[in-house]
C-alpha cells in the first residue's frame, strides 16, 4: 500500500532546534516514541512517554555511547518489509516492532573540523549509529519515512499537517533521496579530512546548497551554481546573478586579489581585463582603469578592494555596467548607484577560496593547484645589459599580475599602476601583441616608455622587435626558450631592459 500511517517513531538527534512542534503533532496522532539520551529527555520534558532504546534492545548504551542503536530490534524494525509474509513472521517471532518514522541528525563532524578540534574530538564526531539508521530507513522507503537533517523539519511538519500523520510512497522516496544526499555528503567530508594526510588521488566533491540560475552560458542551456553564494556576497541591489555574471565576478575578484596592499579597480569583460589600475582613491583608480578601454567597459563587471564613496559612485554612475563588487558602500554612494534598477551591487563578505581548481573534460575531471604564484621583485632575473629603473620594475610587476589572469596567448602593455592595453586569447604571441598595440592606439594611449608582459616565453625575437618600434622600453617574461638569446641580443642592441621570472602563467 502506498499510503501508510505513522504509528511508531524513532527519534535521536544532536540538535533539538524546531523539534518541539513535530513532537506535539506526532503525539496528537497517537505515535509511540522510541528514543535515547538527550532526545529522550527532551521528549519526556514535553510531557510524552518514551520507550527507551535500551528497553527495546535489552542492552544499555555501551562503550561511552558508541553503541546504542546498533541492534536487530532497532534495525529489524526499520528494515523488515511490511508486505512480506516471511518478514512479518520473523518480526513476530523475535518481538521486533515496526518503526515507521526515523528522525536522525548526525554528529557535527564538519563543524568540529572547521573549529580546529583535536584529532580525538574530530574522530568522536564521526557518527556511526546515526548514519546507519539513515541508510537503513532510506533503503526501506517503501515502508519508512526518514528525516535526516533538521533542515527538513519544515517539510516534515507540512507533510504531517496535510496528511494527518500518514505518508505516501512519493513522500517517502523523496525523503530517502535527501537522506542519501545527507549520508554521501557526510562521508565525503570525512574522506577529505583523512585525505589531508593520506593524499590519495581521488576526486570527491559535495555541495548541499545550490542556486538555480536563469539559464547557463546561453539561454538554451540550464545552469545551477553549487555552493553558498550568501556566504560569499551580500547583494544590495539589482536582478539575480546569471551564469555569465558569476564567471566574470570570479575572474574579476581573482585579479583584484593581487592588489591587496593598494587601492585597486578592475573592469572585466568575458573574463578578461579591459581595465585595471591602482590609485590614491577608488575614484582615481576607476578613472585610470576606465581609460584603458572606454568601449569594452560598457556592460562590464567592476570591482574594487576599498569601500565605494560618493565621489567614486558619482564618477562611474554614467557608465552602463552589470555588476559592482566592493567590500562596502557608503550610504550616499548606494543612493547614487541604485538609480539603475537592474544594476547588481555586491558586498564581498569573504576572500575567494584557494586551494584547487577543477574542470570537467572528456569523460572525467581535471584538477590542479590554483596558480598561487605572484611574480615578485625577488623572482626577477636580469638578462640584459640595461637594468630596469625602479619605476619600470613596478610597472613590470603590475603588468605581470594582469597577465597572469588573462587568457593565453596574451601580451599586456602597462605603465606603473595602469593597464594600457592587452591582447588576449590569440593563437600566436605576435597576434596578441599586435592586438594590444592596435587597441592602445584606438584609445589614443601612448606606448612610449611602457612595459610589456608575456604569459610565456618568446620563441623568436619578433615580439621584442615589434614592441621596441612602439616605444616599449622594458619586458618581463618567464624565459625558457631555446632561442632566448635572440631576444636578449636584440634588447641589448636597442638598449631595452628584460627580466625573466622563471614562472609561466598560461590560462585557458
Catalytic residues: 139, 270
Q: Parallel, antiparallel, or unpaired for β 451-454 and 474-477?
A: parallel
> 360: part of which helix (H) or strand (E)?
strand 356-361
Q: What are phi and psi of 385, to 5 degrees?
A: -70, -40
Nearest C-alpha neighbor of 143 from the set 83, 72, 75: 83
Instruction: Give the other-Cβ count within 10 Å of 339's Cβ.
Output: 10
CA 180, 186, 191, 197: dihedral to nearest 10 degrees? 170
DSSP string computed for 97-115: ----EEEE----HHHHHHT
With beta carbons less than 8 A apart as the criterion, state whether 277 and 414 touch.
no
For residue 103 the three cell numbers come to 528522525
Half-sphere exposure of 410 (CA within 13 A, CB side): 26
- Residues sharing a CB contact under 8 Å with residue 53, sequence separation 6 or more, in sequence order: 10, 12, 34, 35, 36, 61, 68, 69, 74
Question: Residue 290 and residue 235: Cα distance in Å, rounded?
Answer: 24
Question: Residue 142 and residue 136: Cα distance in Å, rounded?
Answer: 12
Question: Residue 157 and residue 164: Cα distance in Å, rounded?
Answer: 10
**DSSP SS3 for 261:** coil
Question: Residue 397 and residue 417: Cα distance in Å, rounded?
Answer: 10
R_g of the chain, CA atoms, integer Å: 31
Question: Residue 266 and residue 316: Cα distance in Å, rounded?
Answer: 13
Amino acid at each position: 500500500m502506498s499510503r501508510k500511517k505513522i504509528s511508531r517513531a524513532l527519534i535521536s538527534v544532536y540538535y533539538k532546534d524546531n523539534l518541539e512542534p513535530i513532537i506535539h503533532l506526532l503525539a496528537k496522532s497517537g505515535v509511540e516514541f522510541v528514543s535515547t539520551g538527550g532526545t529522550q529527555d527532551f521528549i519526556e520534558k514535553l510531557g510524552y512517554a518514551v520507550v527507551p532504546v535500551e528497553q527495546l534492545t535489552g542492552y544499555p548504551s555501551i562503550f561511552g555511547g558508541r553503541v546504542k542503536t546498533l541492534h536487530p530490534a532497532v534495525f529489524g524494525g526499520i528494515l523488515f518489509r511490511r508486505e512480506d509474509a516471511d518478514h512479518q513472521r520473523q518480526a513476530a517471532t523475535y518481538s521486533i516492532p515496526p518503526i515507521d518514522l526515523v528522525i536522525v541528525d548526525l554528529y557535527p563532524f564538519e563543524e568540529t573540523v572547521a573549529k580546529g578540534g583535536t584529532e580525538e574530538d574530530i574522530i568522536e564526531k564521526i557518527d556511526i549509529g546515526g548514519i546507519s539508521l539513515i541508510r537503513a530507513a532510506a533503503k526501506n522507503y517503501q515502508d519508512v519515512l526518514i528525516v535526516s537533517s533538521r533542515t527538513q523539519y519544515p517539510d516534515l511538519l507540512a507533510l504531517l499537517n496535510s496528511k494527518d500523520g500518514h505518508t505516501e510512497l512519493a513522500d517517502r522516496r523523496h525523503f530517502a533521496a535527501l537522506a542519501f544526499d545527507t549520508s554521501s555528503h557526510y562521508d565525503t567530508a570525512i574522506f577529505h579530512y583523512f585525505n589531508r594526510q593520506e593524499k590519495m588521488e581521488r576526486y570527491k566533491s559535495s555541495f548541499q546548497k545550490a542556486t538555480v540560475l536563469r539559464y547557463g552560458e546561453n539561454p538554451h542551456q540550464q545552469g545551477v551554481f553549487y555552493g553558498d553564494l550568501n556566504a560569499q556576497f551580500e547583494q544590495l541591489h539589482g536582478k539575480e546573478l546569471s551564469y555569465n555574471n558569476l564567471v566574470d565576478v570570479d575572474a574579476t575578484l581573482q585579479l583584484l586579489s593581487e592588489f591587496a596592499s593598494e587601492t585597486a579597480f578592475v573592469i572585466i569583460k568575458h573574463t578578461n581585463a579591459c581595465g585595471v589600475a591602482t590609485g590614491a582613491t577608488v575614484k582615481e583608480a576607476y578613472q585610470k582603469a576606465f581609460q584603458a578601454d572606454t568601449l569594452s567597459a560598457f556592460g562590464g563587471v567592476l570591482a574594487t578592494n576599498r569601500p565605494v564613496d560618493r565621489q567614486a559612485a558619482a564618477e562611474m554612475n554614467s557608465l552602463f555596467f552589470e555588476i559592482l563588487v566592493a567590500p562596502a558602500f557608503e550610504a550616499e554612494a548606494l543612493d547614487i548607484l541604485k538609480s539603475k534598477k537592474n544594476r547588481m551591487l555586491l558586498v564581498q563578505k569573504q576572500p575567494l577560496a584557494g586551494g584547487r581548481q577543477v574542470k570537467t573534460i572528456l569523460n572525467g575531471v581535471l584538477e590542479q593547484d590554483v596558480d598561487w604564484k605572484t611574480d615578485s621583485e625577488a623572482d626577477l632575473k636580469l638578462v640584459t645589459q640595461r637594468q630596469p629603473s625602479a619605476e619600470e620594475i613596478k610597472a613590470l610587476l603590475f603588468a605581470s599580475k594582469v597577465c597572469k589572469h588573462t587568457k593565453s596567448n596574451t601580451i599586456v602593455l602597462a605603465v606603473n599602476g595602469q593597464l594600457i592595453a592587452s591582447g588576449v586569447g590569440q593563437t600566436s604571441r605576435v597576434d596578441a601583441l599586435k592586438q594590444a598595440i592596435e587597441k592602445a592606439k584606438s584609445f589614443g594611449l601612448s606606448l612610449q616608455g611602457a612595459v610589456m608582459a608575456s604569459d610565456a616565453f618568446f620563441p623568436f625575437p619578433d615580439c621584442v622587435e615589434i614592441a621596441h618600434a612602439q616605444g616599449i622600453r622594458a619586458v618581463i617574461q618567464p624565459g625558457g626558450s631555446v632561442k632566448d638569446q635572440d631576444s636578449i641580443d636584440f634588447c641589448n642592441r636597442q638598449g631595452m631592459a628584460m627580466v625573466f621570472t622563471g614562472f609561466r602563467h598560461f590560462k585557458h
